Homo-oligomer: A and B are copies of this chain.
C-alpha cells in the first residue's frame, strides 16, 4: 500500500426531501450573494427549481442565476459565469444538477479569484483558491458532488480536460434519491457506467497489497450492478436509487483510491472521443473500458481474475487468462443489458479520426502508461 492523505470534508446530506435544507446550509456559510447555477428546464419541470428558490428565499439568501449548462460543460459558459460573479459580487456558487453543472460551477469557482484565463488551469497551471461551492445533486454519475475534480470542454479545438485540487471540494452536497427518478433511462445507464468506471479506474492498479480498498471497490461495483436494473425496471424505486446515489458518491470521493495509484487511462481516451463527438460520457466509457481491459489484462492477469471472480462470480480455475476474459465479457454483457453501446460503431463513430484522438492524449495512465499509439490500438479494439 502506498502512503496517502485522505481528506474529504464535504458534508453529505442524504435522503428524501433534503433539498429543503439548502437555504439553511448556504446561509450557514455566511456568504453575501450566491450564483444559482443549473442546466436546462428539467429542474423547473420537476419542481426542484421552485423548492430550491423557496428554501433560499426562506433563509434570506440573495442570489443571481446562470442556467444553460450542457452535458460536457463548455468553457464559454464558464467565462460568462466568471464575469457574472465578478459583476454581482458573488461569493458562493450553488450547483443544482448533475456532474456537468457541478464541474462548471467549480471552473467558475477557480476562475473568479484568478486574473488570467481559467483555461490555464486545465492545461497545467495549479489553482490555489476557489469560491465555496454547494450542490443539490440530480444525477448520480460523475461523483463531482464530493470530488475535488472538474472536467470542462473547450469548444475551440474540441479539447476536454480535467483538473483537481482539494479547495474545489463542495462544502456540502445534498443527495435526494427521489431527484433522479425523472431521468431518461439512457442517462440512468450512462450514470451507472460512469460510477463503475470511477471504481475501475482505481481498481486496476499496479500497487500491491491493497486488499481493503479492493474489497471496498468490489462492494461498490456490486451495488451498482445489482441496483441499476431495478431503477430501469421501475424508475421510482427509491431504495434502489438510494443505493446507487450513495455508491456513486463514495465511488469518486477518493476513499476507494487510498493507498493505490489510480489509472484514468480510459477516461483520458474517452475525453478525446466525447471532446470531438459530444457523446454522453457514460456511453463513451462503456465502449472504451472493455477495450482498454482487453488491451491490458495480461499485464496483471491475477487482478483481472480476481475482478472476474468477486464482481462477476466467475469461478476460480487454473486458467486465469480465461477467467480474466470472462470477466471482461461479463462487463460488456452487463453494459449491453442496460442498453449501453459497447463499440464505437454502435455510438455512430467511424474510425477515421482515431489517429487524431490518439494524438491528443496528454496524461498517461498508471496501470498502463498510455502513449498515443496505445490509445489508437485501444480505440481500434473499440471500433
Contact = CB atoms under 8 A, between A and B. Distances in A.
Contact of A209 (B4, B209, B243): B243
Given A212-B223, A227-B211, A242 B1 contact: yes
Contacts of A125: none
A136 B31 CA distance: 35
Interface stretch (A10-18, A109-117, A198-206, A356-364): A10-18
Interface string A241-280: 0110011001000010011000000000000000000000
A199 to B, nearest CB: 12
Contacts of A250: 212, 216, 255
A2 interface: yes
A33 interface: no
Contact of A6 (B6, B14, B177): B14
A219 interface: yes
A226 interface: yes
Interface string A228-246: 0000000000010011001
A32 interface: no
Interface string A6-29: 111111111111100000000000
> How many copies of the shown chain assemble into the complex?
2
Given A219-B216, A226-B211, A243 B1 contact: yes
Nearest to A221: B215
A220 interface: yes
A103 interface: no
A145 interface: no
A355 to B, nearest CB: 42
A212 B243 contact: yes
Contact of A212 (B16, B208, B209, B247): B247
A91 interface: no
A62 B84 CA distance: 47
A121 B135 CA distance: 35
Contact of A14 (B4, B222, B223): B4
A222 B215 contact: yes
A38 to B, nearest CB: 24
Contacts of A10: 7
Contacts of A13: 5
Contacts of A15: 1-4, 259
Interface string A95-135: 00000000000000000000000000000000000000000
A218 interface: yes
A247 B215 CA distance: 11
Given A247-B212, A259-B246, A18 B3 contact: yes
A215 B211 contact: no
A11 B6 CA distance: 6
Nearest to A219: B215
Given A209-B243, A239-B209, A259-B246, A5 B1 contact: no
A71 B3 CA distance: 29
Nearest to A10: B7
A8 B250 CA distance: 13
A209 B177 CA distance: 13
A12 B3 contact: no
Nearest to A12: B6
Closest A-B pairs by Cβ, 8 of them: A3-B15, A215-B219, A9-B9, A209-B239, A7-B11, A1-B242, A212-B223, A6-B12
Interface of A: 1-18, 177, 208-209, 211-213, 215-216, 218-220, 222-223, 226-227, 239, 242-243, 246-247, 250, 255, 258-259
